[in-house]
Amino acid sequence: MPRAGALKGYCTRVLGDPGAGLRAPFGHAPADACLGGGLRLAALHEVFASPGSEGAAAGFALALAARARGAGKWLLWVRQDFSALENGEIHASGLAEFAIDPGRMLLVRVPDVLGALRAGAESLACKGAGAVIIEAWGRSGVLDLAASRRLTLAAQQHGVTPIVLRSGADLEPSAAETRWLVRSAPSSGGADWGMPAFDAALVRNRHGACGRWLMEWDCNDGSFRPAHSRALAAMPSDRPSAPAVEGLRQAG
Amino acid sequence: MAGKIDNALRLTAVDAAAARLGLRAGKALADARAMIPDLAVTGADEAADMKLLEAAADWCERYTPLVALDFPHGLLLDITGTAHLFGGETAMLKEIRRAIVSQGFALQLALAGTAQAARALAQYARAAIVAPGREAEAVAPLPAEALNTEPHIIHALKRAGLKTIGQVAARGRHELAARFGGDFVSVLDRTLGRKAVPIMPRTPLPDLMAERRFAEPVVTEPVIAETLLSLGKTLASILESRGAGARILEASFFRSDGQMRRIAIETGQPSRDPAIFARLFRERLAALADPLDPGFGFDLIRLSACLAQPMRAQSASLDANSADAEIALLIDKLAARFGSHRVMRFQPQDTHIPEAASVAVPAQHCEASGPAWPKHRAPDEAPLRPLRLFAKAEPVEMLAQVPDGQPLRFRWRRALHHVTKAEGPERIAMEWWRHQEPQPSRDYYRVEDEAGRRFWLYRDGIQGREAAHPRWYVHGLFA
């Protein structure tokens, strides 16, 4: 079986050893358990916004990046110009409130998805970067399987974590380690306005099971925690999610 | 060629055939038509003339970086210290004449100790080179018009019987100054070569430059890249000897057929690493929307350090914070590819107007460590500022609100939102000292709809006091 062996060697080289690598814990116990300890570093992660939940998806991607970034490293956000028109400019005062230091963040504005990939690849090769958010708007033939493989390779090579944030897009096949489908969720705290809450569905996990959780981002210490809100009762948080979401995973 | 001068159509330029028929620039078009009924006339295009002159000036920068425009038809080149590169003044003039005539231009060329003398000689004498100190002799026989001064002075000189520069120069200086003013005397002095005034170059003189000429024009990319690298090394060694680094570098590519292209790169910190220069140029060249076209090849490539700054001894601190140093390199690289206005960092501003409180500034022009970011929220409180802010707040249709003004139901981008939680108002008054007209205060509300989507809404103006029916806007989106 020399060919199978070669293929396996190639897979290990390209995709890395399953389960190996450093992980950044979410701070949300069920999600961490499902992911084998947390978000895998130096691997590609995708965050898809449910229609209407672009704000929540951006917050979730930012939270992932903040967890994955590592001490002293920079956070890079590569944005397509159209995203700023559609979803608003990044507001640094809001970042500071979200437990992210805007002083160690770089914003790269690019005209199109191709530019976003170029700038993303360039950023991934930088040792000063910890995490790179690549935000693209709409369907695009450019962010395909091959592009996601290139990002994965670049991430493995340089140890930087890329997070692709997409809104208005279909779930296309990709080589991502995890894929999240994010909806906004009512914040906890009764009638009061609480911490940001996400309904995060892990619809694809290369090395483990999928799941769906209600998470809350704690803006004080910059970590996730389980959310307790009225909507929680209707949702199973401890077992894999609804079949509809499973179907999406097959597509990936 | 004809154009409008003093509200009348006049000839602005004539070709050789028309000149033989007795036409001169300045003649009224109607008169010219009367003399020669089948005269071929085209409209004058001053802008195109200017553009052509600019292009010619670009091209002439191969001889010296000091090129000035002498509108409408002239160029002044200060070749002090560059003539020997072309084998002396005679050889240089011959080369310039050959090169310009081969591009299809007619040319009158003169070289003298001062720009004014050279201009007078080029326009009226076609003399080639005046030996140093002999300007007065050379310009003496020229008509008074060659002084290039105001028409009424020329007119007065001629009426006084002073037809040539020599005759004018023979009069006493005091007499001339009394009659025509001190300015006229200094014009005369410059034309006679007694007083030299440096020309005003079109582009500021770079701090440093290095260039390479090619006997055989170069076309291929590797040779161009190699040339830039070696020019970068030359510049780097000069920079090092001065303890300086370059912030802005410009490469000028001179094509053998007369076109010239400038490409500039910029670095956030002064730098003198030729490898970095070469990499930034590679990025810049790869990203050009209108790629560098060598045509028949470049015969001269020049690298200038347009802005050199002293380099602080900071290598030690760079080692201590290598992440920042790596990011600085990345910033330069991305800026070279996408433009410096596309690579941004955030800086807090001392204002409470939300859209002005944080600004994105080009990272290359940003201080390494800025002031601290103000915290709006108390510990354990949810964020008071949204993650995303619309550059222009978007109007919403407020369908219902409780009497004290909290929003209940609104429509934004054609979708209906039922407010389940609303916090506010946070009243933000506009800064009256910045505006001529008083601006209404804004009452901001943080609202959450039934799906958990969170908006930052504001009411523009205090109801009843500042506006009868204030409008509502969505200014930002929370996570």
Question: Which chain B residues touch A60 with a CB distance below 8 Å?
Answer: 479
Distance CA B162, CA B154 (A): 9
Residue A38 is assigned to a structural domain of this protein: yes
Please give the mean pLDDT across all residues of chain A.
Answer: 84
Residue B282: φ, ψ to 5°: -60, -45
Question: Which chain B residues touch A98 with a CB distance below 8 Å?
Answer: 383, 387, 479
Distance in Å, alpha carbon of A190 to nearest chain B alpha carbon: 9
Residue A11 is assigned to a structural domain of this protein: no
pLDDT tens-digit readout, B250-272: 999 998 887 888 999 988 888 88
Q: Do B329 and A126 touch (CB under 8 A)?
A: yes
Residue A70 is assigned to a structural domain of this protein: yes
Per-residue pLDDT, B390:
92
Asked if residue A9 has pLDDT above 70, the reply is: no
Per-residue pLDDT, A12:
53
Cα B130 from chain centre: 35
**Residue in B with minimal Cα distance to A105:** B345
Question: Which is more confidently placed, B376 or A32?
Answer: A32
CATH code of residue A224: 3.40.50.300
Question: Which is more confidently placed, A110 or B117?
Answer: A110
Q: Which helix (H) or strand (E) holds A168?
A: none
Q: Please list, residue by residue across B301-328, b when 16 or more beta carbons sit within 10 angstroms of its beta carbon and e when fewer do.
A: bbbbbbbbbebeeeeeeeeeeebbbbbb
Distance CA A90, CA B343 (A): 13
Q: Which helix (H) or strand (E) holds B214?
A: strand B208-218
Residue A156 is assigned to a structural domain of this protein: yes
* Among candidate residues B256, B264, B334, the one with its CA nearest the CA of residue B293: B256
Cα A11 from chain centre: 23
Q: Please say whether the beta carbons of B477 and B456 come within 8 A.
A: yes
Residue A6 is assigned to a structural domain of this protein: no
Return the CATH architecture of domain B208-335.
2-Layer Sandwich (3.30)
Q: B435 Cβ partners below 8 Å, 6+ apart?
A: none
A77 touches chain B (CB under 8 A): no
**Both tokens assigned to A226:** 């389980």
How far CA B350 is from CA of A26, B201, B319, B411, B434, in Å, comes to 35, 41, 33, 34, 13
Q: Please say whether the beta carbons of B452 and A185 come within 8 A.
A: yes
Task: Locate the DSSP E strands across chain A.
Answer: 23-24, 39-40, 45-49, 74-80, 89-90, 105-110, 129-137, 161-167, 178-184, 197-205, 211-218, 223-226
CB neighbours of residue B404 within 10 Å:
7
How far CA B27 is from CA of B5, B19, B32, in Å, comes to 10, 12, 7
Question: Which is more confidently placed, B352 or A152?
Answer: A152
**Both tokens assigned to A201:** 């569905």
Q: Which 3 state secondary structure label does DSSP give A208?
A: coil
pLDDT tens-digit readout, B411-426: 999 999 999 999 888 9
Q: Do A88 and B391 touch (CB under 8 A)?
A: yes
Q: Is the dihedral of CA B127, B128, B131, B133 positive or negative?
A: positive
**Both tokens assigned to B304:** 């200038």
**What residue ranges do the domains of chain B occupy?**
2-44, 63-191, 208-335, 388-477
Q: Do A220 and B379 touch (CB under 8 A)?
A: yes
> What percent of chain A is predicted at pLDDT more than 90?
55
Distance in Å, alpha carbon of B372 to nearest chain A alpha carbon: 8
**Surface of A (116-145) touching B: CB under 8 A:** 118-119, 122-123, 126-129
Of the candidates B421, B451, B479, the beta carbon closest to that of A98 is on B479
**Residue in A with minimal Cα distance to B334:** A119
What CATH code is assigned to B2-44? Answer: 3.40.1170
Per-residue pLDDT, B8:
73
Q: Which helix (H) or strand (E) holds A30?
A: helix A29-34
Q: Do B357 and A108 touch (CB under 8 A)?
A: no
Give me the number of domains chain A comprises: 1
Question: Which chain B residues touch A220 with a CB distance below 8 Å?
Answer: 379-380
Q: Give the pLDDT of chain B (479 residues) as one tens digit per residue.
A: 666 666 678 888 878 788 888 787 778 888 888 888 888 888 888 888 888 888 888 888 888 888 888 877 888 888 888 888 888 888 888 888 888 888 888 888 888 888 888 888 888 876 678 888 888 888 888 888 888 888 888 888 888 888 888 888 888 888 888 888 888 888 888 888 888 888 888 888 888 889 898 888 888 888 999 999 999 999 999 998 888 889 899 999 998 887 888 999 988 888 888 998 998 999 888 888 888 888 888 989 999 998 888 886 554 444 447 888 889 889 999 999 998 899 999 988 888 888 888 888 898 887 766 677 887 788 888 889 999 999 899 999 998 887 778 899 999 999 999 999 998 889 998 887 877 777 888 999 999 999 999 999 999 888 777 777 889 999 999 98
DSSP state, B417? Answer: E
> What percent of chain A is predicted at pLDDT more than 70?
82
Question: What is the DSSP code string of B111-152?
Answer: B-SSHHHHHHHHHHT---B--TT-HHHHHTTSBGGGG---HH
**Residue in B with minimal Cα distance to A99:** B383
Question: Which chain B residues touch A52 with a CB distance below 8 Å?
Answer: 415, 451, 453
Residue among A74, A76, A97 with most chain B CBs within 10 A, to mutate: A97
Q: How many CB pairs under 8 A join A and B?
A: 207
Of the candidates A101, A186, A194, the beta carbon closest to that of B382 is on A194
Residue A9 is assigned to a structural domain of this protein: no
Q: Do A126 and B452 touch (CB under 8 A)?
A: no
